Amino acid sequence: MKFIAIFLLVCVIFLQYNIWTGKGGWKDFSSIGTELAQLEEQNKELQVRNDAMQAEIDDLKSGSDAIAETARKDLGFIHNDEIYYQIIP
């Protein structure tokens, strides 16, 4: 009877050891939780960027003011009645 009790105790200790330190155990669970938090933060940042891009796309589709602004900023577009000044540092 003593042998069976000791054997069961050793089995329980071995199983507990694997739960706490083995592959897929508590340490892995903790590191996966940290990685999940980092990925959720990254997803939030990307969602904000995507929302800004979607707003810009909607502006470009709906009006000519946004197109003119983009042409000014990226291509140096100037209207006929405007004077262009270039400042060289």
- Chain segment 30-89, per-residue pLDDT in tens: 788 889 999 999 999 999 999 999 988 887 788 777 777 777 778 777 777 878 777 888
Spell out the domain ranges in the chain.
10-74
Taking the C-alpha atoms of residue 66 and residue 59, their distance in angstroms, rounded to an integer, is 6
Query: What confidence score (pLDDT) does residue 65 get?
Result: 74
pTM over 0.95: no
Angle at 55 between CA 50 and CA 60, to 5 degrees: 125
Taking the C-alpha atoms of residue 48 and residue 54, their distance in angstroms, rounded to an integer, is 10
